[in-house]
Amino acid sequence: MKRFFWIIPLFVIILYLHTLKYPLVYDDVELIQENYTIKSFQNIFHFSPFKRPLREITFIMDWKIWDSHYAGWRFTNLVLHLIVCWLIFLTLNIFIKDRHISLILTFLYGIYPLLIESIIALSHRKEMLYSIFFLSSFILYAKRKGWKEIILSFILFLCALLAKEVAIILPFILLFYEFLFKKKKRYIYTLPFFLVLILGFIYVFTTNRLWLPHPGHIQAFLNENRIFSGHPYSAVINTIPFTFFIYIFKLLIPIGLPLDPYIPIYNTLRPLTIFLWLGLLLYIYLIYLFARRNKLVSFALFFFLILFIPVSNIIPVVYPLAWRYMYLPSVAFFLILSYPLGLLKKKHYFYVVIAGLSIFYILISVKETRVWRNEFTLWRYVIKHNPKSFTGYNNLGLAYQNVGDFNNAENLFLKSIQVKPDYGRAYVNLSVIKYKEGDVKGAEHILRKAIEVSPMNPKAYFNLGIIMFKNEHNPGESLKLFKQAVKINPDFVPAIINVSSLLLQAGKRNEAYQYFQRAYSIAPENPMVKKLGKRF
């Protein structure tokens, strides 16, 4: 069956070929186009292990190969996706004896609509990178003959962690696989993996290297969250069963996939919430039940559940519901799908079912990929499916602002604030329009409001610092504001440059040089950093 594998890259490339010409949208603009750290090979060893360095390294390589020809970057994403498809084929073969079924399932995965965000959004290639190392590690572990394969599997596990930290969940999957499928149990093989997991958690919680809430300051942590600000932690817990079953539903019917989907937030328990919690408990019971009756189904159910936990909002994330989180967990769906397909294979209508499912996925994928044509199509689609998306209104407003349509932009920023009164980004963007229209005092007032409602927004301090320097001629106040912006975001290069410049003007050359060194270590290729360097 391997000789027919070429069908998968053929269809995937045809499906995504028209997306190669798409401009950068969404986070890609900030993380790629405006990111000077990826434009120099000397930064390869400067990335923190907690900042997903493998993705940044691939960005550096893409920049050196393709420069700003982003069709090449998108082609890299397609290659990564095809590598994942090959690994999924190998993974399916571990569980499924019929390679014909494995090939069909891999093909369906390759064109699956739920994966589109991870493939098209360059900033989300981390999903594919960690999946590559995660699956490779699992395959080596499952096919191990001794410690040699275990060591190689362990190394790949560490690489997966450098791609995305949620790979830390792999030891539990290896342990459950050992329990279900291995006749001679060798639980000791999982020990190195669990040791990393334990040491990782100790390091994170003792150094606070990841943005995790202190138990005594959970509400302050929530107030800085994009979605959960103003809500108690009980509201976060109540979203867990909702997100779980929304993902289940979209796995079955992958249609209507906006970038910022709606999720209900309830501060107190409601009948529907209780019902969904009971459904989640039933799901867990099914894992136990199928462990005796159908090990493949039991493993697939466990695989999905354990990969759901890191994105379940136990620790609130910026996007509590995002389809990119399903890139690897959706493998569980295709593992389960192998069972009914195996039963149908001997039926005369087997290929009719496969053809129908393939056509359905392709048609939906074509429609969903076209949503990513530009910022206008992307965020209009979001607002259409989620009228409460304050992010959608704000980002669509930015799209209008970038083409000079300030009237539409202002209305959308105001709509964003109406939906989410404490959404600092909308205030900052609204202040830019006021400033460009000559209403400096209005812009200043809006920025102070932005700081009031969202005190951890570095751009608000930065923009206010610009106004205080250029229009209010108050360099002392500007310096304080720029320093606050840097304190919130230590990698905010424009703010670091401005701090250094103002310190230099004030005669504090040594302190100014320290800030310059920080800016240079982050973005040595930034023209403003080079210009500042000439002053020392």
pLDDT digits (tens, 9 = 90+) for 29-48: 888 888 777 877 766 666 55
Classified as helix, coil or strand, 259 is coil
C-alpha–C-alpha distance, residues 115 and 110, integer Å: 8
Tell me, yes or no, whether 156 and 61 share the same domain.
yes
Lowest mean pLDDT among 137-141, 220-224, 307-311, 490-494: 220-224
Tell me, yes or no, whether 197 and 262 share the same domain.
yes
C-alpha–C-alpha distance, residues 461 and 283, integer Å: 47
For 473, the token pair is 């001629």
Are residues 134 and 170 in contact, defined by beta-carbon separation less than 8 angstroms?
yes
Tell me, yes or no, whether 303 and 158 share the same domain.
yes
Tell me, yes or no, whether 352 and 397 share the same domain.
no
- What band does 204 get if pLDDT is binned at 50, 70 and 90? low
Residue 377 maps to a domain: no
> Could you count the other beta carbons within 10 Å of the beta carbon of residue 373?
15
Residue 383 maps to a domain: no
Tell me, yes or no, whether 332 and 426 share the same domain.
no
Tell me, yes or no, whether 411 and 474 share the same domain.
no
The answer on pLDDT for 459 being more than 90 is: yes
The answer on pLDDT for 211 being more than 60 is: no
Are residues 525 and 39 in contact, defined by beta-carbon separation less than 8 angstroms?
yes
Q: Which amino acid is at 83?
A: I
pLDDT at 217: 54
Tell me, yes or no, whether 448 and 463 share the same domain.
no
- What band does 184 get if pLDDT is binned at 50, 70 and 90? confident
Give per-residue pLDDT as tens, 316-331.
Answer: 777 889 999 999 999 9
- Sign of the Cα torsion 339, 345, 349, 354 reads positive
Q: What is the mean pLDDT of the chain?
A: 90
- Sign of the Cα torsion 41, 45, 49, 54 reads positive
Residue where one domain finishes, among candidates 306, 338, 372: 372
Residue 384 maps to a domain: no
Nearest to 535 by CA among 519, 39, 471: 519
pLDDT at 213: 54
Count CA atoms within 13 Å of residue 163 on its CB side: 21
Q: What is the dihedral of CA 383, 387, 393, 394, to 10 degrees?
A: -110
Scanning 96-190, the segments in alpha helix (DSSP H) are 99-110, 116-120, 126-142, 147-163, 170-181
C-alpha–C-alpha distance, residues 116 and 73, integer Å: 15
Hey, what long-range contacts does 194-203 have (CB within 8 A, 24 or more apart)? 196/157, 196/158, 196/161, 196/168, 196/171, 197/168, 197/171, 200/161, 200/168
- Enter the DSSP assignment of 23: P
For 112, the token pair is 């699956």
Tell me, yes or no, whether 403 and 353 share the same domain.
no
The answer on pLDDT for 303 being more than 70 is: yes
Please report the DSSP string for 190-231 in residue order. Answer: GHHHHHHHHHHHHHHHHHT-S----GGGHHHHHHTSTTTTTS
C-alpha–C-alpha distance, residues 205 and 90, integer Å: 36
- Enter the DSSP assignment of 262: -
Residue 195 maps to a domain: yes
Residue 378 maps to a domain: no
pLDDT at 2: 59
Tell me, yes or no, whether 59 and 157 share the same domain.
yes
The answer on pLDDT for 224 being more than 80 is: no
Give per-residue pLDDT as tens, 239-250.
Answer: 999 999 999 999
pLDDT at 40: 72
pLDDT at 36: 77
pLDDT at 470: 85
- Sign of the Cα torsion 129, 132, 133, 135 reads positive
Are residues 77 and 119 in contact, defined by beta-carbon separation less than 8 angstroms?
yes
pLDDT at 246: 96
Total domain count for the chain?
Answer: 3
pLDDT at 6: 82
C-alpha–C-alpha distance, residues 189 and 171, integer Å: 10
Check which CATH number belongs to the domain holding 464 and give it: 1.25.40.10
Nearest to 200 by CA among 217, 188, 212: 212
Tell me, yes or no, whether 174 and 314 share the same domain.
yes
Residue where one domain finishes, among candidates 430, 455, 480: 455
Are residues 13 and 111 in contact, defined by beta-carbon separation less than 8 angstroms?
no
Residue 294 maps to a domain: yes
Lowest mean pLDDT among 17-21, 255-259, 379-383, 503-507: 503-507
Residue where one domain finishes, among candidates 455, 481, 509: 455
Average pLDDT over residues 270-295: 94
Residue 173 maps to a domain: yes
Tell me, yes or no, whether 460 and 442 share the same domain.
no
Give the length of the chain.
Answer: 536
C-alpha–C-alpha distance, residues 7 and 338, integer Å: 19
Domain hosting 84: range is 2-210+220-372
Nearest to 333 by CA among 299, 309, 289: 299
> Could you count the other beta carbons within 10 Å of the beta carbon of residue 107?
22
**pTM of this structure:** 0.90
Of all residues in the chain, what percent are helix, strand and coil, respectively (each to 5)?
75, 0, 25
Give per-residue pLDDT as tens, 345-370.
Answer: 888 889 999 999 999 999 999 999 99
Residue 381 maps to a domain: no
C-alpha–C-alpha distance, residues 386 and 370, integer Å: 18
Tell me, yes or no, whether 418 and 518 share the same domain.
no
